[in-house]
Amino acid sequence: MKRHILFTFALVTIAAQGFGARREKAPPQVEYLPQTASAPATSTASKLDASKLLPANSFSQDLLGAEPTSFTPAVGFWVIGTDGDNKVLVVDGRKWEEGKASAGIAEKARAIYGERYAEFLDNVKAYAYFPFAVAKYVDDFKEGEIAFRFKPVAGKIDQAAGVLFNVKPNGDYLTIRANALEQNLVLFKYVKGKRSSVKWIKDVPTPTGQWQDLRVVVQGNSVKGFLNGKLYLDHTLPEPVSGKVGVWTKADSVTYFDDFAVKPGKVGPVGMN
């Protein structure tokens, strides 16, 4: 009997070790994404001056492997990871599933929109192809600048990073996004669950594996999109902006984000350099 118990214990131990080995093939909390060194800086993107943008969020105090404390993920898998020795916000498109909202979306939606959260939930699944997370500390952005650094890491369908803004309680929003696979900058709008492009800018260099910066400047009905300090997109909206802000990607994109910052109010004629 004793021998049988020992044999059974050994089998359980081996099985547990084998299970652990299989789990290690899936990304662990800290090293679940490629730990590559940042590419040499070729633009102002290497060090976005977040001190001029308030509040700035570098994710340095967040817990590795956990969701960000300053953002509410609505769609997709958002987690704190590392790039070298730097903590970053990661959207891991390898875990993305079409039609699947983020865990606990009902509670998160209530935290964002209070009693109007049901309107948001009604439309979330319509955006399930487009992961996004909403910044908790910006209640109503009307005018100013939104900026962050991003690094496209992987993705066969897309390698996208977008500034999310004008987010309404029903889930309508605007986004200006860059894409390392398409090399363009696009302004999209989402209205009642339907996406449509507003303006496309072609031939916008967006290299994979390099840190870059994306900035959106809003003044009245005017919206401008900058990539790596260069103005590419300039458009006049039919009505002023008013809503929440955040970060946006698409499908299987694996993208790092850092130094997300918002500066409300009037800015210079072409934004800060």
Of 269, 216, 207, 254, whose CA–CA distance to 46 is shortest? 207
- Residues in a beta bridge with 141: 243
Out of 1-10, 83-92, 250-259, pick the least confident: 1-10
DSSP assignments along 184-212, one per residue? EEEEEEEETTEEEEEEEE------TTS-E
Average pLDDT over residues 3-20: 42
- DSSP code of 36? P
**Chain-centre distance for alpha carbon 117:** 21
Please say if the pLDDT value at position 227 is more than 50. yes
The pLDDT value recorded for residue 119 is: 57
142 or 58: which carries more pLDDT confidence? 142
User: Mean per-residue pLDDT for 59-83?
Assistant: 91
List of domains in the chain: 30-264 (2.60.120.560)
C-alpha neighbours within 13 Å on the C-beta side of residue 21: 6
pLDDT in tens, 13-38: 434 444 343 333 333 333 444 433 33
Residue range 201-207: mean pLDDT, rounded: 96
Residue 74 to residue 105: CA distance in whole angstroms: 6
- The closest of 229, 149, 235 to 200, measured between CA atoms, is 235
Check residue 58 and give its pLDDT. Answer: 75
Q: What is the pLDDT, as a whole number, of residue 66? A: 93
Assess whether pLDDT exceeds 50 at residue 130.
yes
Q: What is the pTM of this model?
A: 0.73
Separation of alpha carbons 145 and 54, rounded Å: 10
Give CA–CA dist 134/75, Å, rounded. 10
Q: Kindly state the average pLDDT of the residues 179-187.
A: 95
Mean pLDDT of the chain: 76
Q: How confident is the model at residue 55 (pLDDT cuts 50, 70, 90)?
A: very low
Distances in whole angstroms, Cα of residue 147 to Cα of each of 48, 120, 165, 225:
9, 25, 11, 10
* Residue 176 clears pLDDT 80, i.e. is over it: yes
CA distances for 263 relative to 116, 166, 219, angstroms: 27, 15, 12
